[in-house]
Amino acid sequence: MLKNYLKIALRNLVRQKLYTFIIVFGLALGVACCLLILLFVEHEWSFDKFHAKQDRLFRAILAEHKTDGGVQHQAYQPMPLAPTLADEFPEIERGMRVFTGGGSVSYEDKHFAESFIFVDPAFFEIFSFPLLQGDPVKVLAEPNGIVLTQRMAEKYFGEEEAIGKQLLTKNWRGQVEVIVTGIAENPPDNSSLQFDFVMHITKHPNYERNLTRWTNFNGSVYVLLKDGAARETLESKFPAFVTAHWGDMRKREQERGAIAKREDALQLRLQPLTAMHLDTSVGSAHEPVSNPMYAMILAGIAILVLAIACINFITLALGRSTSRAREVGMRKVLGAFRRQLVRQFGGEALLLSALALVLGLVLAELFLPVFRQFTQKELALQQLFGGWALLAVLGLLPLIGLLAGGYPAAFISRFQPATVLKGGLKLRQKTFFTRALVVFQFGLAIFLIVCAIFITRQQQFIASRNLGYNPEHVIAINSFGGASGDGSQKMLRLREALAAYPQQVLSVTGTSAAFNKGWDLNSFDHEGVERSAFIFGVDYDYLDMLGIKLVSGRNFSRELQSDLINSVIVNENFVREYGWQEPIIGRRLSGWNDEKIPGGPTVIGVVQDYHFLSLHRRIQPAVLLMDPDFGINDILVRVSATHIPATIKLIEEKWRTLAPNTPFDFTFVNEDLQRQYETDQRWQKIISYSTVFAVLLAGLGLFGLATLAATSRTKEIGIRKVLGASVARVVTLLSREFAILVLLANLVAWPLAYFTVGKVLQNYAYRIDMSWWVFTLAGGMALLIALLTVSLQALKAALANPVEALRYE
């Protein structure tokens, strides 16, 4: 019996080639899309769960209650926090500082720009980063030890033994010789903590300066709780701790109106390690985060795309059922029971599902390289075969067979033989089910189209927004100089060397931190109030080169020696945040560098606000100064728009001559700025592609419904044509109901899209308006797609010879 069912199923599928292709390809496309999306979502949800002590690891965050009722979470913490927490609270087993920094690494004739993390010695005991060589307890026991990842060991030493080798590291505070004491596996892709070089915390360039400062927030702090210790219990003890160490800062912030006047305006909290990656409420963190709403949206899209594919199967099977109605009637006359018919048609559906599942896996594997490229994730389908993902994949086959084959099988086997054989079978497409199906499918399509358009427009808005300066054709060269003054000397020598090429190099200047290079927020006591601002050093030509406009006062002058230390320029936001009234020029910035400049430096100018941070954040207070202590870490060179590669080669040649032991590490400033939005652009592509898949599958589903509608009304169309109905009248008749249903889908999709897009746009301090025309455009596009799809089937039915429909009447 089973062999007979299989033979009949294969014969029917081969006979109906177009039907089989549409069903299998549509379902396979849905399976492939679903698998790829779930693969990405599973990766996002798996962050930091590989740590053996994940349930006891937490990151310290500071919650600031603002006067407007909002709460701002700060991940950066001061240097003394971790050891103090471990000393004062017995529930904490270990405290861990993870501070970042950049510099260069040299070994023999190899010189490269690198990034470092500076940690407490127990780093490899707390976190599960396996060591290929070295003892987790001992690798950082000595301050001059350094741990490299496997890729860095291969980069610097090749096949040589790395342990015991000496490296020369250099940052803006100077150079340090370190000894390789361990080799770690490369951190996995789903780790929030990424590193290549791990050094002792005492080697951080600001270690001594910030060791006892509780108001300099510039690194991450983690704690490992003891077994059985409850986070909530520990957090209940923090208010007294906050008062003891941040009480004065809290009072000053309340006096200037920065935070609410309440006892718990500052709260120290513990964030689970595994929650970090998907928590966008925490700002100023070294660890990258991802918006959990995107992951939830994609998970929903994956489920709905597969659901659409399955429903398409059902509608196409229903549309085809009339062509097999006489077969069903004959089988029932010859003694077939209903359960046998259900098995036969259910078996066909299961066979189609199996083919679609296999093809879907093949398509997913084929699409995976492209998917990896724009997600920037090392994904593999094998990652799904574990835990709930394995059960989900194995459950796809019976689930698809049940959803896509069960309803048509039960529906077809319900036919009465006498009614079928005399041609009296009526299939009514005007049911709640089919109407709800169209509304559901196109509601989803419209929702996705609206989201894709708004996200694309937001990215275009970011790309076209006036930043307040001109970053085009500007390269930033890492000087590896800093406070030593070496960076300034390199800049001056490079400027002098390039002066002979005015057609290729337009100007040279420098700064302590170029754009998107991780500026730290500095705090100081100004007029008895704790203040904060982004403070960084610049060169005389900085403003002119970048086109930053002065709104009052003057620029730094080479003719005035006092400008070198005693003068500062602030931005407009600084003036507003500090509540300064005119006159601004001539005011003293007391509290900043008082040990060197009693009374503080003098404000000589105010610049127009410009976006030195990403557009996710509003413009912050900024101070520009010439203080040599800040040094020149990045040399900025504006080059001519013509022959850029040749100009870069020229600059590199000059650099190799004047700094032979320093890597030529450069980036284009505009590319640095774009990297701030790579995650957003990646999500925009994913959602756009998902939208295309969903619309394509919705179109296939509508094709099935249109087929059902045209088939069930064949005789009606024939009678209308005999009575003189035109082709256009028939096409309008068949298309009108679908058009009404698509319009109803807009009423379902628009509120959901409005809510979702509003949530997404809240991640940007500067964002587009939610224009009504976008919703109308999305609805219009969906309506056009629906009418084109239905009209093709309607036109085919309208052009058919009415004699064929009425031959047996």
What stretches of 474-610 show up as alpha helix (H) in DSSP? Answer: 486-498, 542-546, 572-577
Q: Please check whether residue 619 is in contact with residue 613, taking contact to mean a CB–CB distance below 8 angstroms.
A: yes
Residue 151 has pLDDT above 90, yes or no: yes
Residue 32 and residue 60 in one domain: no
How confident is the model over 122-130, as a mean pLDDT? Answer: 95
pLDDT band at residue 489 under the 50/70/90 scheme: confident
Residue listed under structure tokens 């780790």: 191
How many whole angstroms separate alpha carbon 136 and alpha carbon 181?
Answer: 10
Per the listing, tokens 């070496």 go with 486
Q: Rounded mean pLDDT of 132-156?
A: 94
Domain that holds residue 157: 54-276
| Contact criterion met (CB below 8 Å) for 107 and 167 | yes
Residues 451, 481 within the same domain:
no
Which tokens hold the place of 171? 């940052």
Cis ω for the linkage preceding 583 (within 30 of 0): yes
Of 241, 276, 311, the last residue of a domain is 276
- Within a domain: 272: yes
Query: What is 444-461 written as a DSSP string?
Result: HHHHHHHHHHHHHHHHHH
Strand ranges in 195-239 using DSSP code E only, listed in sequence order: 197-200, 220-225
Residue in this structure with the two tokens 């077994």, named with its chain if needed: 227
Tokens of 147: 């741990």
Do 618 and 490 reside in the same domain of the chain?
yes
494 & 590 share domain: yes
Tell me the HSE value of 601 on the side-chain side, using a 13 A CA sphere. 23
Q: Are 586 and 602 in contact (CB under 8 A)?
A: yes
- Same domain for 449 and 527, yes or no, is no
**Measured between alpha carbons, how far is residue 738 from residues 198, 705, 733, 774 in Å?**
63, 9, 10, 22
Biggest CA-to-CA distance, the chain: 109
Q: How many CB atoms lie within 10 A of CB 106?
A: 19
Amino acid at 117: I
Q: Which of 232, 259, 276 is the last residue of a domain?
A: 276
| β-bridge partners, 118 | 99, 199
Q: Give the residue from 620, 640, 660 where a domain finishes.
A: 640
Structure tokens belonging to residue 255: 């006096």
Q: Which residue type sits at 266?
A: L
- For residues 253 and 436, what is the distance between their CA atoms, to the nearest angstrom? 56
Place of tokens 């950082």: 140
What is the bridge-based pairing of β-strands 602-607 and 567-571? Answer: parallel
Q: Binning pLDDT at 50, 70 and 90, where does residue 456 land?
A: confident
Helix H or strand E segment including 120: none
- The per-residue pLDDT for 430 is 47
Position 330 pLDDT exceeds 70: no
**Which of 33-42, 80-89, 447-456, 527-536 has the largest mean confidence?**
80-89
Q: pLDDT tens for residues 653-687?
A: 988 888 887 788 888 888 888 877 777 777 777 77
Q: pLDDT tens, 754-790?
A: 988 888 787 777 888 888 898 999 888 888 888 887 7
Helix (H, G, I), strand (E, B) or coil at 408: helix
pLDDT, the chain, mean: 81
Does one domain contain both 421 and 432?
Answer: no
333-390 pLDDT tens trace: 666 666 666 666 777 777 777 888 888 888 888 988 888 877 778 888 777 666 565 5
Q: Is residue 656 part of a domain?
A: no
Residue 421 has pLDDT above 90, yes or no: no
Q: How far is it, in rounded angstroms, from Cα 379 to Cα 667?
A: 28
Q: Do 683 and 597 fall into the same domain? A: no
Q: For residues 623 and 598, state if they share a domain.
A: yes
In a domain, 769, yes or no: yes
Tell me the pTM. Answer: 0.71
Amino acid code (one letter) for 576: R
Residue in 596, 628, 621, 617 with CA at minimum distance from that of residue 606 = 621
Query: What pLDDT score does 521 carry?
Result: 62
Residue 668 covered by a domain: no
The answer to whether 396 and 357 have CB atoms below 8 angstroms apart is yes
Rounded to 10°, the helix 727-761/432-464 angle is 50
With a cut of 90, say whether residue 200 has pLDDT above it.
yes
377 secondary structure, DSSP code? -
What pLDDT digit, counting tens, does each position of 258-286 carry? 788 888 888 999 999 999 988 877 865 66
CA–CA distance, 694 with 700 (Å, rounded to integer): 10
Tokens of 639: 């080059």
- 603: Cβ contacts below 8 Å, ≥ 6 apart: 553, 567, 568, 569, 570, 584, 585, 586, 587, 588, 589
Residue that is written with structure tokens 């086959």 in the block: 397
690 and 37 in contact (C-beta within 8 Å)? yes
Residue whose C-alpha is closest to residue 708's, from 440, 349, 438, 416: 438
pLDDT at 206: 83
254: which 2 tokens?
């309340």
The encoded tokens of residue 457 equal: 């427009």
Which of 302-316, 579-593, 635-649 ranks highest by mean pLDDT? 635-649
The whole-number pLDDT of residue 352 equals 79
Give yes or no for residue 509 having a pLDDT over 70.
yes
The arithmetic mean of pLDDT across residues 176-192, rounded, is 93
CA atoms within 13 A on the CB side of 352: 36
Nearest CA to 44 out of 222, 284, 221, 288 is that of 288
Number of domain units in the chain? 4
* CB neighbour burial string for 516-553, b if at least 16 within 10 angstroms, e if fewer: bbebbbbbbbbeebbbbbbbbbbbbbbbebbebeeebb
Most confident of the following: 84-98, 528-542, 552-566, 697-711: 84-98
Beta bridge partners of 270: 60
Residue 645 lies in a domain: no
Residue 290 resides in a domain: no
Looking from the CA of 13 toward its CB, the CA atoms found within 13 Å total: 21
Rounded Cα distance between 463 and 674, Å, is 8
Residue 298 lies in a domain: no
User: Model confidence at 487, in pLDDT bands (50, 70, 90)?
Assistant: confident
Could you tell me how many helices (H) and strands (E) the chain has, helices first? 24, 22
14 with 136, same domain?
no
Is residue 500 situated within a structural domain? Answer: yes
- Cβ atoms < 10 Å from Cβ of 51: 17
Encoded tokens for 613: 């941070």
Distance CA 422, CA 426 (A): 12
State both tokens at 627: 């203080």
User: If you average pLDDT over residues 493-516, what whole number do you get?
Assistant: 84
Q: Helix crossing, 292-321 with 17-45: angle to 10°?
A: 160
Tell me: do 394 and 446 sit in the same domain: no
Q: How far apart are the first and last CA of the chain?
A: 38
Same domain, 542 and 556: yes
CA atoms within 13 A on the CB side of 530: 19
Token look-up 């005015």 returns: 502
Residues 257 and 341 in one domain: no
pLDDT in tens, 792-809: 767 776 666 665 555 545
Query: Is the pLDDT reported for residue 150 higher than 50?
Result: yes
User: Distances in Å between the alpha carbon of 332 and those of 148, 166, 320, 329, 340?
Assistant: 75, 87, 19, 5, 10
